[in-house]
Amino acid sequence: MTGRVAVVTGANRGIGRAIAVALGAAGFAVAATARDPTTLKETVEDVEAGGGTALALACDVRDESSVAAMAAAASGLGPVHTVVANAGVAGPTAPLHEIALADWRDCLATDLDGVFLTFRAFVPALIEAGEGSLVAVSSMTGKRPLHGRTPYAAAKMGVIGLVRTLALELGPHGIRVNSVCPGAVAGPRIDDVIARQAAARGISEAEALAAFTGASPLGRLVEAGEVAAACAYLASDAAASITGEDLNVTAGVVMF
């Protein structure tokens, strides 16, 4: 894949950082983005430690002009082949009638509008190139409900619909569009989700964790590197016939 460029939004930690590192190891030059580019230092170092090239770029995926500026800067690395729309927020955990409209809109602005704006910024160049891979990080919560997470679930289900429709539109141009649906990924973010689930449901954090691991036939959480490997696969020529799919990486919690 030498000579190809990949863009990864929300690449400053967790899944996003792992995706950037995996793509760098696969031979991509990586444009890694975050709202605050100073938080990308470790990501760039990790990509370079693996022998790759990385560029840190500022991008607020909620803002159209910010995304456009990022896309222009990323093209400085060369023609972009792969775009991974990973940036996202967990959103509130509460019954629907207790969720403020501002919190609802903030979650959808990042988790759904952000995917739309990110992909839209790169589609014209990919059409001109006649090839490319767009990958959106959705969630298993976009496929099955999770107590108190209506904004997040709505956004992530919306991502799946966006991806399937865009796959239909862009297939004739040689562009593949897929989503990856992670399960509960070990790390600080799921720790926070577990704490909020416990509080919302009136159970202990140990019980909330068990609800995630107990639903897995493998009895475990997912690792960020496993999600990254799925994204790298979808970016590769090995996935040349795969488009419009939502690939589960859930340790078996979701099988559809």
- Which residues carry out catalysis? 152
Longest CA–CA span in the chain (Å) reads 54
Strand order across the beta sheet in which 246-249 lies: 53-58, 29-34, 5-8, 80-85, 132-137, 175-182, 246-249
Residues 6+ apart with CB under 8 A from 114: 9, 61, 62, 67, 85, 87, 88
Using alpha carbons, list the distances in angstroms from residue 5 to 69, 82, 164, 178: 17, 7, 23, 18
Helices (H), the chain: 14-25, 41-49, 64-74, 101-108, 114-129, 150-170, 188-201, 205-213, 224-235
Residues 6+ apart with CB under 8 A from 124: none
Buried b / exposed e along 185-198 (16+ C-beta atoms within 10 A)? bebebbeebbebbb
